[in-house]
Amino acid sequence: MATEVLMPALSPTMEEGTLAKWLVKEGDEVASGDILAEIETDKATMEFEAVDEGIIGKILIAEGTEGVKVNTPIAVLIEEGESADDVASAPAPAAEAPAAAAPAAAPVAAQPITSEDLSDPEIPEGTEMRSTTVREALRDAMAEEMRADDTVFLMGEEVAEYQGAYKVSQGLLDEFGAKRVIDTPITEHGFAGLATGAAFGGLKPIVEFMTFNFAMQAIDHIINTAAKTRYMSGGQMSCPIVFRGPNGAAARVGAQHSQDYAAWYAQIPGLYVAMPYSATDAKGLMKTAIREQNPVVFLENELLYGQSFDVPVMDDYAIPFGKARIWREGSDVTIVSFGIGMKYALEAADKLAEEGISAEVIDLRTLRPIDYDTVIRSVQKTNRCITVEEGWPVASIGNHITAQIMERAFDYLDAPVINLTGKDVPMPYAANLEKLALVTTAEVVEAAKAVTYR
Amino acid sequence: MAARKSAPKKTAKSNTSKEELLEYYREMLLIRRFEEKSGQLYGMGLIGGFCHLYIGQEAVVVGLEAAAKEGDKRLTSYRDHGHMLACGMDPKGVMAELTGREGGYSRGKGGSMHMFSKEKHFYGGHGIVGAQVPIGTGLAFADKYLDNGGVTFAYFGDGAANQGQVYESFNMASLWQLPVIYVIENNHYAMGTSLQRASSTPDIYTRGEAFGIPGEAVDGMDVMAVKEAGERATAHCRSGKGPYILEMKTYRYRGHSMSDPAKYRTREEVQKVREERDAIEHVRELLLQGKHASEDDLKAIDKEIKAVVNDAAEFSKTSPEPALEELWTDIYA
């Protein structure tokens, strides 16, 4: 049967091209792979190979023709004994390219969880509350989950024999052994990829980055591999993995070691992002993170590791993602924060109370998903909002929260929302400049007064 | 643990049976015809984006699959169609993914470069050059942790061999004695840059020496040499000795992708490899010369393969595009 040779598309964007030169003539026998013609695209001149074998029955487009549309028949290939005339006049088959898809109705944001369904586990009356540091709470959460599931393991630099660069993994090697608490070489890109592969292979890795600054070396695997593979596989592949470690500024370590990645990771569909403030939340969110079937970026803070909070002594205290905690109820202004920003928010709320301003303080706890509902409800009550975070001002979490408030509670606002952030500079080393670069309690107080017109 | 270069083998005096040889012929031909058809569908605008064809390299995956056991894992780069067909994935599902349809392995959401099959232990299809190397090392880590006797084939090209994460992986795989075979498909061109313009040393198989990983160079155009090398490598891994490197000297006939004019090499160079080293022709000659098959037998196989590929192409055109709701699914478990 005669077949038409069609003008090929030789690049993702090519719509037409020039048939520069025929390398065969009518009557020539061709085999699969033989070069038929040279075709000029907008980018280059390409050779065009035969797919089928046969005889060139007729050349339909002369060489030198410009603007030949993709899929136009350019020649006819016949088998022995056939005549090209039988088919030369046949109409060109309509291209079977799929019809352009109508744009899908786009929800504002993918919201896998509604906060209405979520709540912290009940703490039964009489439960012992023990003063615990954030450091211990994280360790306890990992240890409990490792006891419960043999496939959970911890890997990272200095997590085992050194007992953790910040002592978060203290004691884990002794309890679980070197098979499950693994010191890695200094090789973030490599071990992040390796751990992601181990998650595909049926394990539940916890990857400690000594700090998230070093995870910049590994961010390709966090985003391109861990976050996207479920989607790219049509739901076949799961990546249950936790990437954790200290994030944000510590103290006097300069620009390369002082950066808040909250807004970076919060942008990525396929990731969950948790950023606890208290020890209770650190423990409860870490347990949830380890049990998750999805990749979780867990942003800790070095300055908070040593802070103590009362943590309920309970076996199974797992806090759901996507549910904010209201630390303090108030009626005059809503302060939204997370992570170490909560320290400034809560200190400011105390100072504001002394001056007769009642602040409601909300800890987002997770940045993907974000509990928008709790924020909106609060703003509907207080009519004013400020956000507090340590990261940079451009495309900050605060910017995003503000946009949500604009869309959902614009008419409730009595003042513009103010976003308090770190300053738009690399972190300086000098003590006085570093202080200036970070968000402060005084700035939060001042902003609260500004939105309440005091 | 010196790296060594295995002698090129060009005869059938190996442990390969007639039936096996016919099977290799069939599988290599399936890949070639499938890829030719992919190129054709790309030309018709039915396949979009990037499309990297495997034509010329067929003996590598077919030979190594012959050395693999059930449960072994494999993953590769974006030049992945051949690997998927060789490990038994359905040509219809692969082709329909190329056309972005509901019947594709990723329901149209992955495309040519991003396909997976848990059932066949195929772990992708990876679009970032070299990224699959630590991921494959991690699969091997999981196998060792779970003590299931599995081996992982982590394929990458001569281009990816210059990525830093490859050496990070070599170090950890050797340190922890992980059962992973690093298969370097040296087709001599990293996109348009030849090996000698990109690599400080001509022999990539020696690059594991610093980490204590044995390596060998293999004639990647000889399916039986590939299979035998695969058997040495899997035996090494399964005996608990850690990783192994196989550098497959192979050649791709087509451009890097469909939009590559391939001006970095001469037509004569390609033609010479096709005429002198073609993997399929080699097996065809062995079959005919050894009287293991007649011209008619081989013609029948050709016909059969053509039908399989045409069915796959037909399916890939008629399978519907994914439903619009699919945009929002499979982001989270």
Left if phi > 0, otherwise alpha if psi is -120 to 50, otherwise beta: which for B107?
A: left
Task: Check residue B3 and give its pLDDT.
Answer: 56
Average pLDDT over residues B249-277: 92
How far is it, in rounded angstroms, from Cα B293 to Cα B297?
A: 6
Nearest CA in chain B to A180: B145
Nearest CA in chain A to B116: A233
Alpha helices (H) along A103-261 = 134-148, 172-176, 188-200, 219-220, 229-232
B274 CB within 8 Å of a chain A CB = yes
Q: What is the mean pLDDT of chain A?
A: 91
Per-residue pLDDT tens over the stretch B290-309: 999 999 999 999 999 999 99
Q: Which residues pair with B189 in a beta bridge?
A: B194
The reply to whether residue A11 touches residue B263, judged by beta carbons under 8 angstroms, is no
Q: A215 to chain B nearest CA, in Å?
A: 14
Task: Check residue A87 and give its pLDDT.
Answer: 56
Active-site residue flag, A257:
yes
Residue A437 has which token pair?
């670069």
Q: What is the mean pLDDT of chain B?
A: 94
A43 versus B40: the higher-pLDDT residue is: B40
B73 CB within 8 Å of a chain A CB = yes
Q: How many CA atoms lie within 13 A of B254 on its CB side?
A: 25
DSSP one-letter code for A436: H
Task: Check residue B258 and give its pLDDT.
Answer: 84
Task: Check residue A120 and give its pLDDT.
Answer: 84
- For residue B15, pLDDT over 90 is answered with no
- For residue A116, pLDDT over 70 is answered with no
B138 CB within 8 Å of a chain A CB = yes
Residues 6+ apart with CB under 8 A from B219: B6, B8, B9, B10, B225, B226, B249
Least confident of A13-27, A82-96, B146-160, B165-179: A82-96
- For residue B195, pLDDT over 60 is answered with yes
**Exposure string (b/e) for B259-283, b if CB count within 10 Å is 16 or more?**
bbbbeeeeeeebeebeeebbbbebb
Q: Is the ipTM of this complex over 0.90?
A: yes
What sign results for the dihedral spanned by CA atoms A21, A23, A24, A29?
negative
SS3 B254: coil
- For residue A112, pLDDT over 60 is answered with no
Q: B199 to chain A nearest CA, in Å?
A: 21
What sign results for the dihedral spanned by CA atoms A62, B270, B79, A31?
positive
* Residue A236 with chain B: CB contacts under 8 Å: 105-106, 116-118
Q: Are A418 and A388 in contact (CB under 8 A)?
A: no
Q: Are A440 and A347 in contact (CB under 8 A)?
A: no
From the list B46, B100, B116, the residue facing A237 with the nearest CB is: B116
Report the run of H or E that residue B248 belongs to, with start and end. strand B244-249
* Residue A199 with chain B: CB contacts under 8 Å: 138
The reply to whether residue B138 touches residue A196, judged by beta carbons under 8 angstroms, is yes
Task: Check residue A44 and give its pLDDT.
Answer: 77
Looking only at the bridges linking them, the beta strands covering A242-246 and A296-300 are: parallel
Least confident of A97-101, B260-264, B326-330: A97-101
* Residue A94 with chain B: CB contacts under 8 Å: none
Q: B8 to chain A nearest CA, in Å?
A: 27
- For residue A269, pLDDT over 80 is answered with yes
Per-residue pLDDT tens over the stretch A134-189: 999 999 999 999 999 999 999 999 999 999 999 999 999 999 999 999 999 999 99
Residues 6+ apart with CB under 8 A from A111: A369
**Exposure string (b/e) for B160-172, b if CB count within 10 Å is 16 or more?**
bbbbebbbbbbbb
Q: Are A38 and B262 in contact (CB under 8 A)?
A: no
Among residues B43, B41, B114, B46, the alpha carbon closest in space to that of B84 is found at: B114
The reply to whether residue B134 touches residue A197, judged by beta carbons under 8 angstroms, is yes
In angstroms and rounded to an integer, the radius of gyration of the C-alpha atoms of chain A is 30
How far is it, in rounded angstroms, from Cα B173 to Cα A64?
A: 56
Per-residue pLDDT tens over the stretch A227-236: 999 999 999 9
Average pLDDT over residues A272-296: 98
- For residue B177, pLDDT over 50 is answered with yes
* Residue A191 with chain B: CB contacts under 8 Å: 134, 168, 172
Task: Check residue A434 and give its pLDDT.
Answer: 95
How far is it, in rounded angstroms, from Cα A400 to Cα A438?
A: 20
Q: Are A11 and A70 in contact (CB under 8 A)?
A: no
Task: Check residue A84 and give its pLDDT.
Answer: 65
The reply to whether residue B145 touches residue A203, judged by beta carbons under 8 angstroms, is yes
Q: What percent of chain A has pLDDT over 90?
A: 78
Q: A108 to chain B nearest CA, in Å?
A: 12
Least confident of A101-115, A119-133, A211-225, B287-301: A101-115
B143 CB within 8 Å of a chain A CB = yes
Q: B175 to chain A nearest CA, in Å?
A: 10
* Residue B271 with chain A: CB contacts under 8 Å: none
Q: Are A275 and A365 in contact (CB under 8 A)?
A: yes
* Residue B171 with chain A: CB contacts under 8 Å: 185, 187, 190
- For residue A328, pLDDT over 50 is answered with yes
Number of A:B CB contacts under 8 A?
A: 222
Per-residue pLDDT tens over the stretch A236-249: 999 999 999 999 99
Average pLDDT over residues B233-237: 98
In angstroms and rounded to an integer, the radius of gyration of the C-alpha atoms of chain B is 19
- For residue A108, pLDDT over 50 is answered with no
Q: What percent of chain A has pLDDT over 70?
A: 92
Average pLDDT over residues B153-164: 97
The reply to whether residue A32 touches residue B36, judged by beta carbons under 8 angstroms, is yes
Confidence of residue A293 (pLDDT cuts 50, 70, 90): very high
The reply to whether residue A10 touches residue B259, judged by beta carbons under 8 angstroms, is yes
A92 versus A131: the higher-pLDDT residue is: A131
Task: Check residue A95 and give its pLDDT.
Answer: 43
Task: Check residue B307 and give its pLDDT.
Answer: 98
Q: Are B113 and B127 in contact (CB under 8 A)?
A: yes
Distances, alpha carbon B257 to alpha carbons A31, B52, B260, in Å: 22, 4, 5
pTM for the predicted model, two decimal places: 0.88
Active-site residue flag, A145:
no
How far is it, in rounded angstroms, from Cα A191 to Cα A199?
A: 12
Task: Check residue B4 and give its pLDDT.
Answer: 61
From the list A200, A231, A270, the residue facing B139 with the nearest CB is: A200
Task: Check residue A394 and give its pLDDT.
Answer: 98
* Residue B331 with chain A: CB contacts under 8 Å: 110, 112, 230-231, 269-270
Q: Are B170 and B208 in contact (CB under 8 A)?
A: yes
Distances, alpha carbon A137 to alpha carbons A53, A177, A181, A285, A346, in Å: 70, 20, 18, 10, 21
Looking only at the bridges linking them, the beta strands covering A16-22 and A65-69 are: antiparallel
The reply to whether residue A185 touches residue B171, judged by beta carbons under 8 angstroms, is yes
Average pLDDT over residues A367-380: 98
Q: What percent of chain B has pLDDT over 90?
A: 92
- For residue B22, pLDDT over 50 is answered with yes
Q: A6 to chain B nearest CA, in Å?
A: 7
Q: Are A374 and A345 in contact (CB under 8 A)?
A: no
The one catalytic residue in A157, A188, A302, A389 is A188
SS3 A419: strand
Residue whose pair of structure tokens reads 């009940």 in the numeric block: A122
Least confident of A295-299, A310-314, A380-384, B132-136: A310-314
From the list A41, A45, A95, the residue facing B44 with the nearest CB is: A95
Looking only at the bridges linking them, the beta strands covering B180-186 and B152-157 are: parallel
The reply to whether residue A190 touches residue B259, judged by beta carbons under 8 angstroms, is no
Nearest CA in chain A to B102: A234
* Residue A232 with chain B: CB contacts under 8 Å: 106, 109-110, 114, 116, 124-125
B93 CB within 8 Å of a chain A CB = no
Task: Check residue A98 and give its pLDDT.
Answer: 44
Nearest CA in chain B to A235: B330
Cα angle value B153/B158/B159 (rounded, 5°): 115
Nearest CA in chain A to B43: A8
Per-residue pLDDT tens over the stretch B87-118: 999 999 999 999 999 999 999 999 999 999 99
The one catalytic residue in A38, A257, A347, A443 is A257
* Residue B160 with chain A: CB contacts under 8 Å: none
B48 CB within 8 Å of a chain A CB = yes
Task: Check residue A102 and give its pLDDT.
Answer: 44
Q: A387 to chain B nearest CA, in Å?
A: 28
Residue whose pair of structure tokens reads 């009550």 in the numeric block: A381
The reply to whether residue B106 touches residue A233, judged by beta carbons under 8 angstroms, is yes
